[in-house]
Structure 1
Amino acid sequence: MKQLITLVLLLISGHLFATKGDGGSENRPAKKAKTLTVMTYNIHHCNPPSAGAKIDVEAIARVIRKEKPDFVALQEVDVNTERSGKGLNQARELARLTGMNFFFSKAIDHQGGDYGVAVLSRFPILDSTRFPLPVDPVIKGEPRTVAAVTVEIAKGRKVIFASTHLDLKEPNRMTQSELIVKHFENAGLPMILGGDFNALSDSRVIQYLDQHFVRSCQACAPTIPVEKPNRAIDFIMYKPGETFKTLSTKVIDEQYASDHLPVVVKVQVK
């Protein structure tokens, strides 16, 4: 009987030692890194350049569905405009066709409706914000905006995802970039930003943003024009650098749906 009791105690002791170890965590599985697929796409109000005035929302949705992104930053989005059809909210319709959630941020009034940027998210949107970007009243320019959402990509792991479209004039782009940096500098959450920046990699604007964000690529493939593209102005960037790691960046060769090629990035959330 004593031998049996001794054997049982030894087995229990060995089991506790194997489970607990020295610090109680050696045998716990490591937290799995999360991989996200992110797209940025200037959709030219869903008007294929080769198709006259035709609005083809399904063509844009088809490009998005094929890549199965977790997030999409959309630029040049129409909501209830005459050219795209009164009653057509392109952001909402793209969300429906792709099975995603959406948030739209108006930049200007256009043809009886709204025109701006939007985000699509595979995750439920917990919070959203929009804010206008400045335009110098002397040199003028088209008002621009930011659409940003907060989502939970895993239990207790929140990120901000945002879309923007900077102005054609560099002085405006510079002040707009500065406001974006300032607006999110104390957000307290990791952030991914996608957009049409209307600026080349070696421009003052992108060099400034590079001081505050990490772009997914440095020698980035060109995104416009769709036929024989020769310059990159559409980028995805994130911060802080230690939170994300770029796994891949690719430009999709889709020449029908828009006048820009979409960019798709896979990032690992550490």
Structure 2
Amino acid sequence: MKKALFALLALVSTVAFAHNGTPKPTNRPSRKAKTLTVMTYNIHHCNPPSAGAKIEVDAIARVITKAKPDFVALQEVDVHTERSGKGVNQARELARLTGMHYFFSKAIDHQGGDYGVAVLSRFPILDSTRFILPVDPAIGGETRTIAAVTVEIAKGRKIIFASTHLDLKEPNRLTQSEQIVQHFGKSDLPMILGGDFNAQADSRVIQFLDGHFVRSCQACAPTIPVVNPSRAIDFIMYKPGETFKTLSTQVIDEQYASDHLPVVVKLQVN
């Protein structure tokens, strides 16, 4: 019964909260992408930990802009919350400031608004999907989701890019990882997944995902805390195959804007 409930929850998907925006694209699908730069960044609702309750969307935007990514997986994103400003949609504002398209996937209600994950894309978004990850009712946990978009990186060449933020409890993370593999395994499209997995490389969660995805690094540099980081829990991975090859993985030493360090990966597109 429990497995059936998980499967039902995992298949619930909507196209709510999709906002492609109208910035001028810096990449055109007609121009074949030889390489892609991908970032994953837990942005701590744009609240620098050393700045009290201050919200600085600009600080996160500067970090992203400097890295010049083609895709960004964002976690801990506020939309119209009291703490971040009722009129502020952080996903949309980051898209505006960086000149990218965006898609937001709500996880929970928070302070009169929404809180969840998002993606930014240099390429126009052709399709977008939010789907809910399962939580075992016996142990509880916060609702988690995936934001996934389909884009065309070259004429007739589509890929999926997705962002997620797994639960704090390992049993939930394991089930969520299984559902991610099951859900996206149904698609023949190449896929890149970035996120805060709340799990280290030697965990059961990452070891399971390593059996179905190629992680951009094996001896991955730590991403938290931002001062004297000691744990790597933020990763970028992609479906195995001939489409992508890792050229480099870098953890950016940016200690002000968030409580996580961003990860930037350069991929060769074959």
TM-score category (smaller protein) = 0.7 to 0.9
Matches within 5 A, 1:182-193: 182-193=182-193
Contact 1:213/1:239 (<8 A) preserved: yes
Contact 1:100/1:122 (<8 A) preserved: yes
Contact 2:117/2:163 (<8 A) preserved: yes
Which amino acid counterpart does residue 61 of structure 1 have in structure 2? A
Residue 8 of structure 1 corresponds to which residue in structure 2? none
User: Closer, same or farther in 2 for the Cα pair 1:134/1:228, shift >3 Å?
Assistant: same
Supply the distance in 2 between the matched residues of 1:41 and 1:231 (Cα, whole angstroms): 15
Supply the distance in 1 between the matched residues of 2:122 and 2:242 (Cα, whole angstroms): 24
Supply the distance in 2 between the matched residues of 1:50 and 1:33 (Cα, whole angstroms): 39
Contact 1:214/1:241 (<8 A) preserved: no
SS at match of 2:62: helix
Residue 119 of structure 1 corresponds to which residue in structure 2? 119
Contact 1:130/1:147 (<8 A) preserved: yes
Residue 258 of structure 1 corresponds to which residue in structure 2? 258
TM-score (norm 2): 0.88
TM-score (norm 1): 0.88
Runs (4+) of structure 1 moved beyond 3 Å? Answer: none
Supply the distance in 1 between the matched residues of 2:170 and 2:126 (Cα, whole angstroms): 34
Is 1:249 the counterpart of 2:246 in the alignment? no
Supply the distance in 2 between the matched residues of 1:250 and 1:124 (Cα, whole angstroms): 26
Residue 60 of structure 2 corresponds to which residue in structure 1? 60
- Deviation of residue 240 (structure 1)? 2.4
Residue 164 of structure 2 corresponds to which residue in structure 1? 164
Residue 97 of structure 1 corresponds to which residue in structure 2? 97
- Deviation of residue 33 (structure 1)? 6.6
Supply the distance in 2 between the matched residues of 1:33 and 1:99 (Cα, whole angstroms): 18
Residue 195 of structure 1 corresponds to which residue in structure 2? 195
Supply the distance in 1 between the matched residues of 2:142 and 2:44 (Cα, whole angstroms): 16
Contact 1:145/1:164 (<8 A) preserved: yes
Contact 1:39/1:262 (<8 A) preserved: yes
Supply the distance in 1 between the matched residues of 2:195 and 2:227 (Cα, whole angstroms): 20
Which amino acid counterpart does residue 180 of structure 2 have in structure 1? I
Residue 142 of structure 1 corresponds to which residue in structure 2? 142
CA RMSD of aligned residues (A): 1.1
Residue 174 of structure 1 corresponds to which residue in structure 2? 174
Residue 129 of structure 2 corresponds to which residue in structure 1? 129
Aligned length: 240
Residue 234 of structure 1 corresponds to which residue in structure 2? 234
Identity of aligned residues (%): 87
Supply the distance in 2 between the matched residues of 1:64 and 1:243 (Cα, whole angstroms): 25
Supply the distance in 2 between the matched residues of 1:131 and 1:157 (Cα, whole angstroms): 24
Matches within 5 A, 1:72-87: 72-87=72-87
Which amino acid counterpart does residue 128 of structure 1 have in structure 2? S
Residue 48 of structure 1 corresponds to which residue in structure 2? 48
Which amino acid counterpart does residue 81 of structure 1 have in structure 2? T
Supply the distance in 2 between the matched residues of 1:186 and 1:114 (Cα, whole angstroms): 29
Contact 2:39/2:73 (<8 A) preserved: yes
Supply the distance in 2 between the matched residues of 1:149 and 1:181 (Cα, whole angstroms): 16
SS at match of 2:64: helix
Which amino acid counterpart does residue 178 of structure 1 have in structure 2? E
Contact 1:249/1:265 (<8 A) preserved: yes
- Deviation of residue 243 (structure 1)? 1.6
SS at match of 2:207: helix
- Deviation of residue 186 (structure 1)? 1.6
Q: Deviations over 1:6-53 (max 9, x none)?
A: xxxxxxxxxxxxxxxxxxxxxxxxx97720000000000000000000
Larger Rg: 1
Q: Deviations over 1:35-72 (max 9, x none)?
A: 00000000000000000000000000000000000000
Residue 223 of structure 2 corresponds to which residue in structure 1? 223
Contact 1:213/1:241 (<8 A) preserved: no
